[in-house]
Structure 1
Amino acid sequence: MASLTTVQAARVLIVDDNRDTADTTAMLLRIQGYDVAVAYDGRSAISTAKRYDPDVVLLDLSLPDIDGYAVAESLQKDGMNRASFIALSGHGPDDRSWEQRHFVDYLVKPVEHETLVSLLLRVQAQKQV
């Protein structure tokens, strides 16, 4: 498995309305050397992403103001094409439409930290090829 020494640490934007989950995930990723920003709703996710220019966006699909699909679509329309979007949800997908919306993966919460880090490493390694 690649490590942060062989793959540049990603700039990760975590978007989740569950503040405890978002903040804990951010803290754990920062400990491992990731550069992390957090947003708790769709509108702040869009404004934060435009300023922060993340490599990866971990995006809860069920946000209180704008759903995650609409957030991703808005950012992609605004030219944020280099970021990889990973869908987060409290339940499994009904279908595979998330792939058609340019998400690279779909994770069901709660996400084990090792699973998330492994996915981030894989996404970054694929970008560097």
Structure 2
Amino acid sequence: MLAVRNRVRVSADFSRTVRSGARSGRRNVVLYAVETGEQPSRFGFIVAKTVGNAVTRNLVKRRLREAAAQSLALNPTGLDIVVRALPASASASWAELSADYRNAFSTCTAKLSQRHARQGG
């Protein structure tokens, strides 16, 4: 379970992350990330009805929250992450979903590092 301080809860924060963040897509998820300085890392999830019925969507959300909790241990500060579940995530196993999440996460953090290096900072 993610603590309240580690959740993206405001619509404006979701929009800012999706619009201006680094993006990485995989078969099951699309992940957006933006740097936030020294603030605690926060995670938000978008699981639309196209993923499946309520039971399926909640299962996907629980799995994605667990993957986010694991990455929070590695990056406790400095990131806002929004994870959009794609329809294929409904039939994905935990191993497939977590691998897609980890790969997308590492790609986004690499893109953010490149941006940071280009800006001289």
Larger relative strand fraction: 2
| More helix per residue | 2
What TM-score do you get using the length of structure 1 for normalisation?
Answer: 0.36
TM-score by length of 2: 0.38
Structure number with the bigger relative contact order (C-alpha 8 A, sep ≥ 6) is 2
